[in-house]
Amino acid sequence: MNGIRLSELPIGAAAIVGDIALPPARVDRLAALGIVPGMELSVEQRHPVYVIRSDDSLLALEEDLARGITVHLASIER
């Protein structure tokens, strides 16, 4: 199943992280923040940085990180 980049996910849409195509150090940093394949999230804002919601947490990501994360649309009840 093909996904879309996190940077293309509409604001408010729910998705599941599929793949992270970034250098290992950046993947490790995202993992330390809890952003790993299978994680459920949504985009709350795009500018000046991407703000991602997962459960009760908000995380700010730079655009280059958001472009390196592939997600799959999901229906997640909030």
Q: What is the pLDDT of residue 74?
A: 81
The CATH H-level (homologous superfamily) assignment of domain 4-73 is Ferrous iron transport protein A (FeoA) (2.30.30.90)
Report which residue type is found at 49: V
Q: What is the pLDDT of residue 8?
A: 95
pLDDT digit string, tens, across residues 3-47? 999 999 999 999 999 999 999 999 999 999 999 999 999 999 999
Residue 1 has pLDDT above 50, yes or no: yes
d(CA 32, CA 45): 22
Please state the domain extents for the chain: 4-73
Tell me which H or E stretch contains 24.
helix 24-32
